[in-house]
């Protein structure tokens, strides 16, 4: 198609048309290739994401290079997003390297400080044509180095959401509505009534964090209530790792990475297509091209 695009218009299109775009956290070249192949097969718009840990592990330049090749060689629109970053300098570094979307996560700070830090990033990103996502309330669970205990997780307040989006000018908004990062012990307890209030009073696309393990009917309900992006991380990691474990269980002597990476890639690809079907972005690639 060409180059990595900002996710702003992709997500606005998704919100306007009532579906969600799946955003996948990738940690290796093979995971990146797997979700790109999935998007290509499903003809779905795609958001590739990396956590701060993965940025430190691989380096933003390598990640941007691989994602740029994907954008160049595939027919679907692709954005590259930095997930849950608390560090302004790292955000700027990733924007300079070529990320087309960034999340400033200042949700652990008091409201005013969250507004200040988010607005600061919106200003610098806007000038570079890069999308910004920010969070209000606090999503529970573990995402890289960010650990939020169950008792510290906090739902977003719908009235505060309106003020937050207005004052920061953030183009993509992640309100905490009861989902969590990682695998749920039981079922998530999603505050649909709050989500509905937020959807009706905030005009920007909303983001559903903690996409792993949410039952299908609940994902669909969230999407129908304005969740235009769903993040999936843990389930992909599990699919990737389980496929490799399976190979080694059968053949402990295996020492050719290409042999165990192929089934791992295939497992990630299959799961990614399932998640795309769930949020309804299959076949939507063309209308999301910037
Ligand atoms: P899961 O690990 O639960 O899929 O959450 C992903 C996420 O929200 C990343 O920001």
The two three-digit tokens of residue 212, written as one number: 């792993």
Beta carbon of 212 within 6 Å of any ligand 1 atom: yes
1 pLDDT band, cuts 50/70/90, is low
Cα of 83 vs centre of ligand 1, distance in Å, is: 9
Q: Which residues contact 227 (CB under 8 A, 6 or more apart)?
A: 20, 195, 206, 207, 208, 279
HEC states along 73-120? HCCCCEEEEEEEECCHHHHHHHHHHCCCEEEECCCCCCHHHHHHHHHH
Q: Which atom of ligand 1 is nearest to the CA of 236?
A: 4
Query: Residue 255 Cα, ligand 1 centroid: separation in angstroms?
Result: 31
Residue 209 Cα: closest atom of ligand 1: 8
Mean pLDDT of the chain: 95
- Residue 290 — pLDDT band, cuts 50, 70, 90? low
CATH H-level superfamily of 7-288: Aldolase class I (3.20.20.70)
- Summarize pLDDT for 33-55 with one digit per residue, the tens: 999 999 999 999 999 999 999 99
Q: What is the pTM of this model?
A: 0.96
101 C-alpha to ligand 1 centroid (Å): 16
State the Cα–Cα distance between residues 250 and 2, nearest whole angstrom.
Answer: 41
- Spacing, Cα 144 to ligand 1 middle (Å): 10
Could you report the per-residue pLDDT of 167-216, keeping only the tens digit for each?
999 999 999 999 888 888 788 889 999 999 999 999 999 999 999 999 99
Distance CA 38, CA 112 (A): 40
Q: Distance (Å, rounded) from C-alpha 146 to C-alpha 181?
A: 10
State yes or no: is 157 an active-site residue. Answer: no
Kindly state the average pLDDT of the residues 245-263.
96
* Atom nearest to 182 CA in ligand 1: 3
Mutate to test the pocket of ligand 1, among 24, 231, 240 (most ligand atoms within 8 A of CB): 231
Q: Whose CA is nearest to atom 9 of ligand 1?
A: 231
What's the pLDDT tens digit per position in 87-134?
Answer: 999 999 999 999 999 999 999 999 999 999 999 999 999 999 999 999
Cβ–ligand 1 distance for 233 under 6 Å, the answer yes
Determine the atom of ligand 1 nearest the C-alpha atom of 232. Answer: 4
Dist CA 144 CA 258 (whole Å): 27
* pLDDT digits 0-9 by tens, 122-150: 999 999 999 999 999 988 888 887 787 77
Average pLDDT over residues 257-273: 97
DSSP state of 137: S
Which residue of 20, 24, 210, 271 sits with most ligand 1 atoms within 8 Å of its CB, as the best mutation to test the pocket? 210
For residues 148-163, average pLDDT: 87
Task: Give, for ligand 1, the residue of 234, 235, 236, 268 to mutate: max count of ligand atoms closer than 8 Å to Cβ.
Answer: 234
Give tens-digit pLDDT for 2-38. Answer: 899 999 999 999 999 999 999 999 999 999 999 999 9
């Amino acid at each position: 198609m060409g180059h990595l695009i900002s996710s702003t218009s992709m997500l606005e299109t998704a919100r306007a048309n009532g579906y969600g775009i799946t955003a996948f956290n990738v940690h290796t070249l093979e995971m990146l290739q797997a979700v790109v192949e999935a998007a290509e097969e499903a003809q779905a718009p795609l958001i590739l994401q990396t956590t701060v840990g993965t940025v430190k592990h691989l380096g933003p330049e390598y990640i941007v290079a691989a994602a740029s090749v994907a954008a160049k060689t595939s027919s679907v629109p692709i954005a590259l997003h930095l997930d849950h970053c608390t560090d302004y300098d790292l955000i700027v570094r990733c924007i300079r390297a070529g990320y087309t979307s960034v999340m400033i996560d200042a949700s652990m700070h008091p409201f005013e400080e969250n507004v200040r830090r988010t607005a600061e990033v919106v200003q610098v990103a806007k000038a570079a044509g890069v999308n910004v996502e920010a969070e209000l309330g606090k999503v529970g669970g573990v995402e890289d180095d960010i650990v939020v205990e169950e008792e510290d997780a906090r739902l977003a307040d719908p009235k505060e959401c309106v003020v937050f989006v207005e004052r920061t000018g953030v183009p993509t908004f992640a309100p905490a509505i009861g989902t969590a990062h990682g695998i749920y012990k039981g079922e998530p307890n999603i505050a649909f009534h709050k989500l509905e209030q937020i959807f009706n009073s905030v005009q920007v696309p909303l983001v559903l964090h903690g996409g792993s393990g949410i039952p299908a009917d609940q994902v669909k309900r969230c999407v129908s209530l304005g969740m235009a992006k769903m993040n999936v991380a843990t389930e992909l990691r599990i699919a990737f790792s389980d496929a490799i474990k399976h190979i080694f269980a059968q053949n402990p002597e295996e020492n050719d990475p290409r042999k165990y990476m192929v089934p791992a890639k295939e497992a990630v690809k299959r799961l990614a297509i399932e998640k795309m079907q769930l949020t309804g972005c299959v076949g939507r690639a063309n209308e999301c091209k910037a």
